[in-house]
Structure 1
Amino acid sequence: MEVKSLIFKILYSFLGLIALFLVYSHYEYRNIKIKTIEIKSKDVPKEFDGKRILFVADFQYDTMARYNRRQQKKAIELINEQKKDMILLGGDYATWEKNIPKFYEDAKDIKIPELGVYAIYGNHEYPGEEETAENMKKLGFNLLVNENRKITVNNKSIYIAGVTDLWHGNPDAEKALEGIQKEDFVIFMTHNPEYFEEMSENAKGRSDITIAGHTHGGQVTFFGKIVVSAIKNKKKYGYGMKEYNGHKIYITSGLGGAFLEMFIRFFARPEIVIFELKRI
C-alpha cells in the first residue's frame, strides 16, 4: 500500500510540474518585453545621435491548425506604442504559407515612423517571395533584397543593409553593402545569424552591427540553456549581443513561434528591441 501511495504521489507531483510549466509558458509567451540597447559609434552622425530604431523578427503567430490573432494584434499595438524613428523587420512573418495573408491584414496597422520601415526575407517567406514583395510594397515597407537604403537627415546619412535568407535565398553581403564606406554607420540585417560565419572580414568591418532573428531564443529552453534550435551553433548564435573579433551581432528572441503546436515559451521571453544610437 505504501509503495502504491508513493507512486501516486510521484505521479501527482509530475502532473503538477507539467501544469505549472504550461501555465508559466503561456504567461511568458504573452508577455513581450521591451529591451533597449545603446549602440555607441563614432560613425553615428550627430543628426542621428539619440535616434531610436525598433527591431522585431519572427512574428509566426500560427501553427498548422491555429492562428493567434489576438497576440499578433497585441504585438503590433506594442510596436506602435514605442518611441521610435525607424522600424526594422527581421523576417519570418508567418510559419505556414496559408497564413501569410493574415499577417499582412494586421500589418496594415503598423504605423510607419518618420524614417520608415525596412524588412528582409526569413526562411518562411520561401516559396512566396513575390507575394511578400508585393505586400511589403503595398504597405509602404522597404524590402531589402541584397541591397541597402540610405537614410538622410539634414544631409547626413546612415545605411540599413539586408540580405536574403541563408537557407533558401542567395545572400550576398558584398552586394548588399555596395557603395558603403567603412566610416559610414551601417546596420546589417540577416534573418539567420549563422550567415555571419559566411561574411567576409571586409563586410563585417563595414557593418557597425549585424542583427538577426530565426532562433526564437530557443523557444522552450532548459531554464535559459538552449537545447533545440534551428541553428548548428546554439551557444555562439542562440540569443543576445555577441562580439567576435571586434564585430558585433545581436540575435533577438523574436515575437512568436510555437512548440509542439502550442503557443508557449520557457525562459525565452519574446521581445521588441530598441537600438538607441549614440555618437561618441
Structure 2
Amino acid sequence: MIARAPYLFLLLILVPDLYLDLHYWRHRFAQQRRLLYWLPTVIQLVLTVILTYETHFIPDNITLLYIYLLMMGLITAPKWAYMLCSAAGLALYKARHLHSKKTEKKRKNYGNLVGVAATMLIWYVVLYGAFVGFEKLEVNHQTYTSPDIPKAFDGYKIVLFSDAHVGTMSGNRQWLLQRAVDTMNAQHADMIVFTGDLQNIQPEELLEHKQLLSSLKAKDGVYSVLGNHDYDKYLHSGEEHHRVQRLPELIRLEKQMGWQLLQNEHRTISRGGQHITIAGMENDGDGNKFPQLGNIRKTLANTNGFIIMLEHEPASWRRTTVPDGRAQLTLSGHTHDMQFRLLGWSPMDMLNIEWNGWYTEGKQSLFVTAGLGGLIPFRFGATGEIVVLKLEKVKR
C-alpha cells in the first residue's frame, strides 16, 4: 500500500511540520523542545521507509500498518487541518491590511482557533471510528417489489452480506465475525448471498474462521462471488508461483465451507413448479486497478424468468447488467459506504456513481450494501451491516 506512493506519504508527513516549525516552533521553543515536537514525525518517516519495502500491498505484519495509519489519523491529519486553517487565517488577516507595525503585537490569527477545533474533531472521528464504530453492526431490513417475482417466491427472504475482509477480524476481533454469523443464522433466511471480498489478500486468513463460516445456514444454501481482494491483484508482481496457487486455494476453501461460488454461472431455485435464478459474475472492474473478468453472456446463458445477479462492483451494473436487460435485481458491495459519514454526508455524495442503497433503471434495480468489515478497522457513521431483503410480488 505505502510502496505504491512512498513520496506522497513522505510529503504528507513532512509538509505540515515544516510549516509549524517555520511559523511557531522555532520562535517559541528551545532547540531541545523543537526536537521533541519533531520526534513523532521522525518515527512516521522511519515507518514509511519500512513499509515501502514490504513486498505485498498488505504487509504480513498488518498490525504495523494499523499503527502507521492510526498515527496518520491522529498526528498527520490534524497537523494538515491546523496548517490549512492557520494559513487561511493568516492570508485573511493580511488581505484586510491588519498587519501594520502599529497593530502587529495585537494581531490574532483566528484560523489557529479553527485549526484547534478541527484537530479535536479529527481526533474524535479517528478514535471513535477505530475503537467503537468498527465494532458496531446493523441489521438493515429492505423490501424489493416486482410483478416478475413468481408467486411461490412472494415473501422469499434473502440475507445479503459483503466485504467481510476476515483477515481484519482475526485474533481478538473474531467475535465480530461470530456475532455476524449468529445474526445471519437468526434470520432463518431462504438464501444467504455474499458479494465478494472475503479475504484481505491471501486465503490463509480464512483458516482461523473456516469452521465459523461453514456454520452459515439457509434453506436454499449460501451463494457467493469473488471480489477484487479475492484475486491475486495485491500480491507482489514477482510472486507468480504463489499467484497460481492462491486463487484456487480460496476457491477450494469456499467450496469446503459449503458455499456455492458462482464464477460467471448461475443456479436455479425451484418452488412449487416455479423458479428464480441466482447468478454470479466474476469481478467486473475497470481492468486496471480492479480485475475485469465478468462475462454476462456466459453468466446468464439459457436463463429466463426472475433473475438475481450477484456482482461485487456496483459500477458493473450500469456498464454491463443494464444493457443486457435480463437481471431484474442486482446485489453488490465493494464501496463499504466509504466507511465514513459525517452528519449523514459522505464524500462519495459528490461522485455520480452507484455506491450505497437502491438504484433503478427501467425495470432493473441495484442494491449496494455498506458491507460488513473492511481492510482497515475503521468505520464512522457508515456502520457495517447485514441486509435482510424480502421479495414481494406486486400486480402489474
Task: Read off the aligned partner of 1:159 and give its amino acid letter.
Answer: T
Choose between structure 1 and 2 for higher RCO, CA contacts under 8 A separated by at least 6 residues.
1
1:217 to 333, 337, 361: 337
Largest Rg, 1 or 2: 2
| Aligned-partner Cα distance in 1 for 2:363–2:273 | 29
Match of 2:320 in 1: 199
2:291 pairs, out of 147, 158, 168, with 168
Q: Does 1:18 align with 2:141?
A: no
* More displaced 10-residue stretch of structure 1: 193-202 or 60-69: 60-69
Within 5 A, what are the aligned runs for 1:29-108? 29-63=134-168, 68-97=173-202, 98-108=204-214
- The letter of the residue matching 2:269 is I
Post-superposition CA distance 1:17-47 (Å, at most 9, x none): 3343235424332221111111112221221
Does residue 249 of structure 2 align to residue 144 of structure 1? no
Aligned match of 1:265 in 379, 385, 388? 379
| Conservation of the 8 A alpha-carbon contact between 1:93 and 1:103 | no
> What's the offset of the Cα at 1:220?
2.2
Deviation at 1:60, TM superposition (A): 1.2
The 2-side partners of 1:216 and 1:188 are apart by 19
Aligned residues: 270
Partner of 1:180: 303
Q: Matches of residues 210-249 of structure 1 in structure 2 within 5 Å? A: 210-227=330-347, 234-249=351-366
- Give the Å deviation of 1:75: 1.4
**Secondary structure, aligned partner of 1:236:** coil
Which deviates more, 16-25 or 53-62?
16-25
Q: Pick the structure with more strand per residue.
A: 1
Alignment deviations for residues 183-229 of structure 1 (CA, whole Å, 9 cap, x no partner): x11110110111113315453x2111111100001112444443369
Q: Which amino acid aligns with 1:199?
A: T
Name the CA shift for 1:235/1:29 in 2 (closer, same or farther; >3 Å): farther
1:235 and 1:75, CA in 2 relative to 1: closer, same or farther beyond 3 A?
farther
Question: How far apart in 2 are the matches of 1:239 and 1:132?
Answer: 27
How well do the aligned residues superpose, as a CA RMSD in angstroms? Answer: 3.0
Partners of 2:170 and 2:208 within 8 A in 1: no
- C-alpha distance in 2, partners of 1:41/1:145? 26
Provide the C-alpha distance between the structure 1 equivalents of 2:218 and 2:340, rounded to a whole number of angstroms. 33
Q: Deviations over 1:249-272 (max 9, x none)?
A: 11110000144xxx2212211111
Question: Hey, what does 2:94 align to over in structure 1?
Answer: none
Amino acid at match of 1:257: G
Deviates more, 1:153-162 or 1:13-22: 13-22
SS of structure 2 residue aligned to 1:186: strand
1:86 and 1:16 map into 2 onto residues whose CA distance is: 45
Which position in structure 2 is the counterpart of 1:208? 328
Q: Deviation per CA, 1:94-133, whole angstroms, max 9, x where unpaired?
A: 21314233343431232x2111111101111113331122
| TM-superposed deviation, 1:240 | 0.8
Instruction: Give the letter aligned to residue 48 of structure 1.
Output: F
The alpha carbon displacement at 1:168 in A equals 2.1
2:393 — aligned with what? Answer: 279
Partner of 2:85: none
What amino acid is the match of 1:192?
E
TM-score (structure 2 length as normaliser): 0.61
- Secondary structure of 2:347's counterpart equals coil
- Quick one: structure 1 residues 8 and 105, their matched pair in 2 at CA, closer, same or farther if it must change by over 3 Å? farther
Amino acid corresponding to residue 136 of structure 2 in structure 1 = N
- % of aligned pairs identical? 26
Check whether the contact 2:225–2:263 (CA below 8 A) recurs between aligned residues: yes
Check whether the contact 1:91–1:121 (CA below 8 A) recurs between aligned residues.
Answer: yes
**In the aligned structure 1, how far is the partner of 2:393 from the partner of 2:319?**
29
Give 5+ residue unaligned stretches, structure 1.
none
Gaps of 5+ in 2: 1-104, 233-245, 285-289
Distance 1:2 1:56, change over 3 A: farther
Please list the CA deviations of residues 229-262 of structure 1 after superposition, one character each: whole Å capped at 9, or x if unmatched. 9xxx944212110113442111110000144xxx
